[in-house]
Amino acid sequence: MKYRKRTASDFVFKEELGHGSYSTVYKAIDKHDLKRVYAIKVCSKAHIIREAKVKYVTIEKNTLNLLARENHPGIVKLYYTFHDADNLYFALDFAAGGELLSLLHKYRTFNEQLSRHFTIQLIDTVEYIHSKGVIHRDLKPENVLLDKEGRLMITDFGAATTVTKAELDGESRNDLNATNSTSSFVGTAEYVSPELLLYNKCTTSSDIWALGCMIYQFLEGCPPFRGSNELKTFEKIVELDYTWNPNKYATNVNGNSNKNINPMIIDTVRKVLVIDDNERITISDLKREPWFNGIDWNNKFDIWKGIFT
Ligand code: ADE
């Protein structure tokens, strides 16, 4: 069984888990080993060709293969790819905890402790992704999944790009070709970096910007820059037009521990949400922020604890 190429008939397809612009993800069980559950991403060939998405699907497969090599806990693993006349299939890790966005909607906001737990795992994973020369380019809570223990896994590398060693070592990247231009940008408005909007430039630091937007969203419940339409959102981003509402829980007298946002977190986010990507905090400096005091970044066991352990 191990050596034969898989096909869709090797799996029992269950409920839909989600869908993107050119794919639908289903829960699926391996018929030959009923204990093995996967999330199978099904991409319609006709749709991919019609919408000119071949490039994105290829990038996603190559990037997942590259990142899967070291078994990093924060990356959704790709186990098999196969195709038939109609579809392409990606058999991925099933993330039993669903999307981080759904958990955030359920709780509305995360408290400081939960926000820190997710931020630490995000930092460790984004650092790993960048160390392999990959920029995700579409980091947001919908693309972060949770396993059954509440450990996070980054998914959806369809917008990713790779950088050369020289670029990784500090040179920036200017994506000036048409497919990467801002007018056809593939990211999500609320998390897009100012350098992409202003200079059509994409660097590893653009992922750090998105990370800063997510930290804010964990504590406030919505991303820092959100206008009534995409253009207004973009205007807010390039003007760094965001505010914290530190006292919005002040009327809650029932002992809500999330009453005031810790100034240490506000300070960390301030160093991330910097317009000039050259001035923005780096991952290594981010790890040294006081909010993470006491974390041993070399202790993977410590970083990759579940929520309940
Ligand atoms: N939704 C999208 N991808 C998923 C995955 N890998 N596991 C669970 N739910 C998902």
Total count of residues recorded for the chain: 309
**Are the C-beta atoms of 40 and 14 separated by less than 8 Å?**
no
d(CA 294, CA 153): 23
If one counts every other C-beta atom within 10 angstroms of the C-beta of residue 77, the result is 16
Q: Is 155 in the pocket of ligand 1 (CB under 6 A)?
A: yes
- In this structure, the dihedral spanned by the alpha carbons of residues 218, 220, 224 and 229, taken in order and rounded to 10 degrees, is 110
pLDDT tens-digit series, residues 253-309: 444 444 689 999 999 999 999 999 999 999 999 999 999 999 999 999 999 999 865
Q: Is 180 in the pocket of ligand 1 (CB under 6 A)?
A: no
User: φ and ψ at 106, to 5 degrees?
Assistant: -65, -45
Q: What is the 98 CA–ligand 1 centroid distance (Å)?
A: 6
Q: What is the CA radius of gyration of the chain?
A: 20
Any catalytic annotation for residue 138? yes
Residue with tokens 């790009």: 161
pLDDT at 46 over 70: yes
d(CA 308, CA 114): 11
3-state DSSP assignment of residue 159: coil
Active-site pick, 30, 138, 175, 207: 138
**Are the C-beta atoms of 80 and 1 separated by less than 8 Å?**
no
User: φ and ψ at 240, to 5 degrees?
Assistant: 50, 45
pLDDT at 197 over 60: yes
Q: What is the 139 CA–ligand 1 centroid distance (Å)?
A: 15
Q: pTM for the whole thing?
A: 0.89
3-state DSSP assignment of residue 148: coil
ipTM of the complex, rounded to two decimals: 0.95
d(CA 188, CA 190): 6
Which of 192, 70, 73, 78 has the alpha carbon at shortest distance from 132?
70
Q: Is 38 in the pocket of ligand 1 (CB under 6 A)?
A: no
Strand partners, 98: 146
Both tokens assigned to 240? 């760094």
Helical ranges in the chain per DSSP H:
45-50, 54-68, 100-107, 112-131, 165-168, 194-199, 204-220, 230-238, 263-272, 283-287, 300-303
Residue 40's identity, in one-letter code, is I
Q: Strands (DSSP E) along the chain, which ranges? A: 11-19, 23-30, 37-44, 78-83, 87-93, 98-99, 134-135, 144-146, 152-154, 161-162
pLDDT tens-digit series, residues 221-264: 999 999 999 999 999 999 999 999 866 554 444 444 446 899 99
Q: pLDDT value at position 187?
A: 72
Q: pLDDT value at position 307?
A: 87
d(CA 6, CA 11): 9
